[in-house]
Structure 1
Amino acid sequence: MESGLTAAVRTALAGVRDPQTGLDVVASGWLQGLVVRDGLVQFALEVPRERARALEPVRAAAEAAAAAVPGVLSATCVLTAHRAAPAPEAPRAVRPAPGQGKMLLPEVGAIVAVASGKGGVGKSTTAVNLAVALAGQGLKVGLLDADIYGPSLPQMLGTREKPRAVGQRIQPLVRWGLKAMSIGFLVEQDTAMIWRGPMVMGALEQMMGQVDWGPLDIMIVDMPPGTGDAQLTMSQRVPLRGAVIVSTPQDVALIDARRGVRMFEKVNVPVLGLIENMSYFCCPNCNHRSDIFGHGGARTEAGRLEVEFLGELPLKLEIRELADAGTPIVLARPETEEATTYRRIAARIWEKASAPPVGAGPSILQD
């Protein structure tokens, strides 16, 4: 059974008609994939291919109608075409599909992706501490959680506050001296995001294009693990200044880190360096050091890949406890060696990211 907001959106869409047939977009069967989650609305209109170009005004009207429903923060409508239409050379959409179109976040000076080839390597903890360290340098910093399926930013920033909407713009949350946005701020904590690739890409575009970020010196993007839709969307829709790869020292993680480096190289995003996380284990009782995942693997891999090794961080109970409590170690324990390491790495990232890009060219994945 549909929720009240979903039913209201469907009713609003039933008021948008095809001027040629007089049928509304619901009755015509064009409405596909309607998803309404905590104020975010996404759907597609599947139309005859030969009419796709002429139906752009209908798409725009449907998007506007959904956005005008009380309780809706933002709406995205994508125009697609029936596969069986007789003109295979006709365009599938007259509006850029997710992952295409003009660049977003024009007011951000430098956008840096913090990525990993696989999950469980401490990438989100690293991203949050780096962002807080950059804000501590007096920079205007944004932090975007690009992991739609497993957002962790609300936990690590210690807030479940819902963003406000001013007009058609979502206001980012302000925490620890930085602006932040995550799908986790818009949905309930135990909500499973069962979305296909285009929906994920659309949600990312909303968090970049419909959030009132304002002018920023730098934005840190906490990427989901792997090399999928989110990575392609980021590389195609924002001018990434570079990527930082986080890995543990063990061979299985380094294999995936290598794939991450190669992926960013293919889309012409420079890799600013590698970070070895969980480099060694410090016993909280006796401070004994154990290399339980090995040690130095990321440094060696960085040399092999000819990218900079940015530093190593230990597997330490305090880092995990403070991250879970929503108080990053850089902020809560600034005197520790680990906080000092995060600040040093952040300073080096800013040094590289704030330099003018050299030899940037078009992505091979863009048209």
Structure 2
Amino acid sequence: MRPSVEAINAALEKVIDPEIRRPITELGMIRNVKINEDGTVIVGVDLTTEGCPLKTKISADVKKEVGAVENVTDVQVELGVMSDEQKKALREKLTGHTEREIPFTKPGCLTKVYAITSGKGGVGKSSITANLAAALAAQGLKVGVLDADIYGFSIPRMLGVDTPAQKVDEMIIPPVAHGVKVISIGMFVPDGTPVIWRGPMLHRALQQFLADVFWGDLDALLLDLPPGTGDVAISIAQLLPNAEIVVVTTPQIAAAEVAERAGSIATQTKQRVVGVVENMSFLENPDGSRTEIFGSGGGQQVSERLGAQLGYQVPLLAQVPLDVNLREGSDQGSPVVLREGPAAKALQQVAEVLAKRTRGLAGKNLGLSPL
């Protein structure tokens, strides 16, 4: 007996696009299905781009799901590429509009946006961002990371991104690593090439990453900001006024004083500071004692002083110890939070705090109207 068309279609609905994370049937990627008398099934699949890096996986998944249907003897996949009209229709289907707009500023958006910042470089801000994103995704949340450190981008390496971003009718499909959608300028410049831009170019790049990237329905978006209070911090405050700030510092008082200035930008941007993460807090020795290589008290100082400035409590969310696994994981694209260890435990606790926070009411449509 020949396999039924209904069974084949049901099987194809189980094939999920790895980047867009929706069934390929829903995305209009199935061009045709042919069922021969001998049970051979030929499936025509139109990819979003000709050089789709995940075409091998999509093809394998089609063969796996269709091959499991009763009476199917063989599965052949014929790959093609979407036409311009198909790409335009796909973009409209995914975003619901054709004009560019930032979805995270819409009144009905429930995405929690966290800007991870620091006063100076070298405090581990990017590794904290990458690990928090992976920890949130491991908790079952839908997470995205925007590498806003245009000059010093490092998020793709730290999260182990090994596929490029794809473009579909002016819409950018971000690659996914460890369950996290990732976008970075590092995906668009050759290795070793510096980015030499002034303020307006930085603003435009951030705007494009927010409006042109298909983020989907995220629970949390993390922004890895460059150190300090320069152009990018100002642009983020303008483009994402609902973003909340997480300040990263080390215990060293000199670093803490600079980190305090990074957090105090909230007094002018009217953003909320969620808390402070103290990184490289101590080195745990084999005998259980601790060596405070960079001193102590910096994180608590930033917490207290920001609280006094802003008029509300700014908690010290965690003290992350020095851990060689954290450094190795960042270099290898394998976040330490996905393993066991003191640093992993501290970062997982921060992720739990961020996951439980609710989005503020600023900009939300409350469904009320004047009488």
Shorter chain as normaliser: what TM range? 0.5 to 0.7
Count of aligned residue pairs for this structure pair: 257
Write the distance in 2 (CA, Å) between the matches of 1:257 and 1:359: 28
Deviations 1:103-153 (A, max 9, x none): 553456111101001100000000111111111111111111001101001
Which residue number corresponds to residue 228 of structure 1? 230
Write the distance in 2 (CA, Å) between the matches of 1:193 and 1:355: 34
Which residue number corresponds to residue 273 of structure 2? 271
Deviations 1:262-295 (A, max 9, x none): 1122101100000100001245x77763111112
Q: What is the one-letter code of the residue matched to 1:264? A: A
Task: Give the number of the structure whose alpha-carbon radius of gyration is greater.
Answer: 2
Write the distance in 2 (CA, Å) between the matches of 1:298 and 1:261: 12
Query: Paired residue for 1:338, among 343, 346, 354?
Result: 343
Aligned residues of 2:116 and 2:129 also touching (Cα < 8 A): yes
Shift of 1:186: 1.3
Which residue number corresponds to residue 148 of structure 2? 146
Which residue number corresponds to residue 209 of structure 2? 207
Shift of 1:305: 2.3
Aligned residues of 1:142 and 1:180 also touching (Cα < 8 A): yes
Shift of 1:299: 1.3
Query: Paired residue for 1:316, among 305, 310, 323?
Result: 323
1:163-202 paired onto structure 2 within 5 Å: 163-202=165-204
1:149-160 paired onto structure 2 within 5 Å: 149-160=151-162
Q: Secondary structure at the match of 1:240?
A: coil
Write the distance in 2 (CA, Å) between the matches of 1:330 and 1:317: 13
Write the distance in 2 (CA, Å) between the matches of 1:330 and 1:166: 33
Shift of 1:337: 2.6
TM-score normalized by the length of structure 2: 0.65
Which residue number corresponds to residue 250 of structure 1? 252
Which residue number corresponds to residue 356 of structure 1? 360
Shift of 1:350: 2.3
Q: What is the one-letter code of the residue matched to 2:161? A: T
Which residue number corresponds to residue 87 of structure 1? none
Write the distance in 1 (CA, Å) between the matches of 2:203 and 2:359: 29
Aligned residues of 2:321 and 2:342 also touching (Cα < 8 A): no
Write the distance in 2 (CA, Å) between the matches of 1:114 and 1:189: 25
Aligned residues of 2:102 and 2:210 also touching (Cα < 8 A): no
Q: CA RMSD in A?
A: 2.2
Write the distance in 2 (CA, Å) between the matches of 1:317 and 1:281: 10
Q: What is the one-letter code of the residue matched to 1:190? A: G
Aligned residues of 1:110 and 1:219 also touching (Cα < 8 A): yes
Q: What is the one-letter code of the residue matched to 2:296? A: H
Write the distance in 2 (CA, Å) between the matches of 1:165 and 1:102: 17
Write the distance in 1 (CA, Å) between the matches of 2:243 and 2:352: 15
Percent identical: 41
Write the distance in 1 (CA, Å) between the matches of 2:227 and 2:306: 20
Write the distance in 1 (CA, Å) between the matches of 2:177 and 2:184: 13
Aligned residues of 2:260 and 2:305 also touching (Cα < 8 A): no
1:53-64 paired onto structure 2 within 5 Å: none
Greater than 6 Å deviation, 4+ residue runs: none
Q: What is the one-letter code of the residue matched to 1:298? A: G
Alignment CA distance shift 1:286-1:166 (3 Å)? farther
Write the distance in 2 (CA, Å) between the matches of 1:209 and 1:243: 21
Q: Secondary structure at the match of 1:294?
A: coil
Q: What is the one-letter code of the residue matched to 1:321? A: E
Q: Secondary structure at the match of 1:129?
A: helix
Gaps of 5+ in 2: 1-83, 85-99, 308-313, 365-371
TM-score normalized by the length of structure 1: 0.66
Deviations 1:206-231 (A, max 9, x none): 11111111111110111111101111
2:310 aligned with 1:305, yes or no?
no
Q: What is the one-letter code of the residue matched to 2:301? A: T
Write the distance in 2 (CA, Å) between the matches of 1:359 and 1:152: 32
